[in-house]
Each structure stands twice: as C-alpha cells, then as structure tokens.
Structure 1
C-alpha cells in the first residue's frame, strides 16, 4: 500500500515560468560575481559544472562534483567563489521569485496528504543547494518541514533522470518502491521512477515532454484531478 508521496518541485509543487526563472537567475548571478568574473564566462562555467553533476556516478556528492569542476575552470581559489555563491543564494537569487505562478490547489493537496498521515518527500532534481530549494518550497506557500526528506546537491550523489537517484531516495527514507508514488510534471525525469516499481502521477498543467515517446504513467491529470485523487486516498493515521 502507498504510504509515501514523492513530489517534484519546479512545475509541480511550484508552478513557474522556467525561461523567466533561468533569465533572472543568471542575470542576478552575473551581477553578484561581476567584480571577479565576466557574466558570459560565469554562465559558461556554471553550465559546464551543472552538466558534470548530471553525469555524476555516485562517488561524490553533487556539490563536490560541481565545485571540483568549477574550480578546474576558474583556476583560482575556489573558496572565494564558494562564499560568493552562498551570498548570492541569500540575496540576488531571491529575485527569481518573480517567475513563480500562483497555484493554491497543489498546496491544499499536499496539506491534505499530511493530515491523512502520508510521508512526504520533496524529490527535486538536486542541482541546487539546500537553501535555494527551501526558498522555492516557501514560495509555494509551504514550510519545508512538511517534507520528511528534501533532496539537494549537498547530500545527493545522482541527478534525474538517473534511476539511482530514486534508489538513493528509497534507501534514505527506508521505503520499498511499492510503498511510493512519484508526482511530477516531467515525462523523462519523473516517470522514469516507474522502472523500479514506483507508481507515478503525471501533472499535466505544466507538463514537460522533450521527445515524442509514448507517455507511460500510473495516473495523469491536472492539479484538480490530483486533488480529487488525494481526497479519495485512505486515512493512514486513524
């Protein structure tokens, strides 16, 4: 029986304009680093380091992979950049909130699941530090403490759509695949969870499908459909 719900963040828990988010993100980051590196080179180095995280094979955390790759590119004292990244996520990064699209129904669904006694996991692609992910959870109108586990680059060793990303989550939360449901809007990154026996619910409102492949999921529907699905789930904490 399902007792644990895994949620994707961007486009699922937090609807947003992805293109606007990226534009603001790199604009503000460029401003934050402009005295030590040009925005154009910074953009290039951040993307290369992010690509390295996506290819991570589990020997190191995503943060370690990112910083090692970034350090090899700048060929300078990486601590200067680490401190600047940390400050950026407290300051300029906050401007990305302008990309958020208001949607209250998913929040209501999550809180109803919490009331019914389901364990909730925030299974976002761990390309960002914990503080950045927590900010986006808060922008969705939720307290991060609602989730028993939140993926981030500090402690994850894989990225979506690597199946070991999901296996690592199951190991951390001590659950079997048949106990879990993955809720997300990305056909390639979220529905891959089904390959290890996790049921999936595809959110259609902000669906991402990069190919023409057939969509294979357990359930699919809008935020309204998902809310009805949650209403019909059994109470676990009676």
Structure 2
C-alpha cells in the first residue's frame, strides 16, 4: 500500500489558500486530478492551480459558494465534466468563524452564516458526491473539525466551535451510513495552524505567542502538517480507518 492517487479525482473546497491549498498541492503531487475551489479570491485560486501545474500535476479552478445547494450541484457537475469522471476524494475544507461574537450580541444572521459555511456546506457537499462514490463502490471523504470542537474555542467563537462539533458528530454517523459502499469518512482537527487567513484575522500577536508557548512541540502548525494527515486518510494506507478524527495540534490537546 502507498499514497499514490493516480487517476483519482479530488475536490478540495476552499483550496485557493491556506490549509486547502496545502492539501490540494499534496494530493496533486501524489497523482490526483484536483478541483481547486474559491469563493471570492480568484487570483489566489489561479496561483494554486499554477503551482500544481508547474510541479507536473493536474488541476482546474472552480468558483462556488458552498453554502448554496444550487452552486454545490453546479460545482460537482463542473468538476466531473472537467475530469471526465465522478469525484473519488472530497475534502470539505471550506469554513470560517466569520467574526468573534459573544452570545449576548449574537444575531440570527450571524448564527446562520457560521452554521452554513461550516456545517451546511459539509452536509450537502457530502450528499452531492455520494451517488458517484456509491456507483464505484469506493470513495474517501475528509471533513474539517477543529480543536475548538473539543474545548469550546476562544472568546466569541461559541457558534463556530458548536458548528465544528456538529461536523464531527455528523461525520461519525455518515461513516456508518456509507461504510457498506466502500466509502470512508474521517476528520482532521487542526489546532493552531499558522500561515492562514484565520489567525491573521482573529489572533493577536500576543495571543499567538501565548498559544505557541502552551504547545508541547513549541511551534505553530503549518498547512503542510494538515495536508499530510489528509493524504494519509485518502490513500490506501487508511483503508481500514473510518469515523476517526486525527488531532493536528502539536500536543496542545490530547485525547
């Protein structure tokens, strides 16, 4: 068994930058044909595709709002048309805290935005690719949780943390539901991953230093740290693993 994905079609949501880009690059380096997606920043998406192609890989760029069911359907259809086949690997990376908001200030609109981008998108992306995976009798789905799902997250991130906990519980149920079709469903749960827009937006320099000081490995994680775990989960090496969560946090949270 190895990590080669030659001939496999992979769709990585939110892969124009950060963790998603790291995942897309590594899957492509191991032979997958990768659908790179973005919501707003087309330039970053084009850069990701260019990096893959420069390294000899195959990738195409797609724009989609994965909180919209019509756009989810269009996205998957476009990927299947571009690569002439159904999706073998789905990585639901798209997600966002949107804004730090304490419960006393939470609005229904903000609640909906956070749940939709993190949880709704995951559920309906999974639903859309399942028919193709079932027809092949094989498939790999990796969903994105967070250390916040376990510890509740930082100030003003309660709904974000809850949405990631929902992703975790849902993924375990889905793993049971589709196991008989040869499909595995697993999660990666990043801790403090630097080089991402998330921490550039929501974490102060003081908070960053304090967090790193509390990490046993004494460094921030990188998108490549997450990508390596995703590659393992979608490869033959993890053929007997489903419904599991890999914690990627340098030891800051151990189960």
**Please, what TM-score do these two structures have when normalized by structure 2?**
0.39
Instruction: Give the number of the structure whose alpha-carbon radius of gyration is greater.
Output: 1
Q: Which has the higher contact order (CA 8 A, sep 6+)?
A: 1
**Please, what TM-score do these two structures have when normalized by structure 1?**
0.41
Structure with the largest fraction of strand: 2
